[in-house]
Amino acid sequence: MADTAKPKGRTAARSSGTRRRGRKDTSPGLADEKPDTLLDYYRQMVFVRRFEERTAQAYTQARIGGYCHLNLGEEATVVGLMTALRESDYLFTNYRDHGYAIGKGMDPKRVMAELYGRTDGVSKGWGGSMHMFDTETRMLGGYGIVGGQLPLAAGAALAISYRGGDEVVMCQMGDGTTNIGAWHETLNIAKLWDLPIVFVVVNNFTGMGTTVERSSAEPDLYKRGAAFRIEGERVDGRDVLAVRDTAARLVERAREEQTPFLLEAWSYRMKGHSVVDPAKYRTDEQKDEARSEENDPIALFGEKLTREGILTDELRDEIAASVKAEVAEAAEFAENSPHPEVSTLFDYTYATPVPNESTRMPADPVFAE
């Protein structure tokens, strides 16, 4: 097991629920990186941030219904993980899935339309925020039930192994998922059958409203695969290059060795659990820490690129303007997309016709006349 970027203050964290971390730069150097590639990563991160901010705005305006969870503060993790995958690899995520859907190749306009519940959405408006799904890009959910994606991801990896394919499955989850039964069952069978899958735990230190230290007897989550002899590593999730390199190495090992791996990426969640969560379980100091530039992945990466002379003020402004315009275009597309017809309410309830399937609409009589 490798602990490549261990968070500081473990002892203090157990008593106070707070981790204080310095701004230690543990990322790979830029000497071997192409400037255009680095700027592309920066733009992707900015795009996810602005897309999610626009999503929060639309939610408060009642344009988006249901539950809504954002990737704010996790942009480096999102971009780094998606960059590590091939187009042919499969992705399963939890309900905090918008950034991953875009990173895996979905059209942002159709992602926003899905959030709005419109027919031009990636799932024709049936999935909404928590259930992004697209077979073409091989993003197979978006799952609203905590841990619901784990057994299905293992099933996809089993299918790959069964037919002798060279694809890999990445299964993303939050830190709270490591305490449910599906976690243990899935990791056990993944190792028992040597499945090509990389489990990624995005650890933002608070599962729903409970700190990791208070919910997990082993708060070093990357070690929790040891019971199943699954090798695990931890990476600084604020650093897009560190995430990319670590994830790419584990993905390729899973591909070549046909065995599972576990990656823990730690970062700060800038907002509460969902759009409407005021995060009262955090102190004001903890909220300030999560939103500070010292822990903002975009600010950190932008500063590094600026120091290297890659990102100028002019270029930063150009990127900001183009991202703003593209996000506005996505919102306009969603706004103009048609609502589903009421008559389609029962479409896709089952994959094939089912005898005696109920299609009773609200206010219809229980028994037909």
> What is the CATH classification number for the domain harbouring 206?
3.40.50.970
pLDDT for residue 11: 31
Based on the structure, what is the number of domains in the chain?
1
Mean pLDDT of the chain: 91
Are 180 and 215 within 8 A, CB to CB? no
Q: Is 183 among the domain residues? A: yes
Q: Is 326 among the domain residues? A: yes
Q: How many CA atoms lie within 13 A of 121 on its CB side?
A: 29
Q: Is 144 among the domain residues? A: yes
Residue 297: domain span: 31-344
pLDDT digit string, tens, across residues 124-180: 999 999 999 999 999 999 999 999 999 999 999 999 999 999 999 999 999 999 999
User: Considering the entire predicted model, what is its pTM?
Assistant: 0.90
Q: Is 200 among the domain residues? A: yes
Q: Is 65 among the domain residues? A: yes
pLDDT grade for 19, boundaries at 50, 70 and 90? very low
Query: Phi, psi (5° rounding) for residue 52?
Result: -70, -35
Report the 3 state secondary structure along 60-104: HCCCCCCCCCCCCCCHHHHHHHHHCCCCCCEEECCCCCHHHHHHC
Q: Is 112 among the domain residues? A: yes
What is the distance, to the nearest Å, from the Cα of residue 66 to the centroid of all Cα atoms in its chain?
18
pLDDT for residue 6: 53
- CA gap 82, 103 in Å, rounded: 6
- CA gap 301, 288 in Å, rounded: 19
86, two tokens: 């091939």
> 110: closest CA among 170, 51, 162?
51
pLDDT grade for 5, boundaries at 50, 70 and 90? low
> 250: closest CA among 89, 137, 101?
89
Q: Is 248 among the domain residues? A: yes
Q: Is 15 among the domain residues? A: no
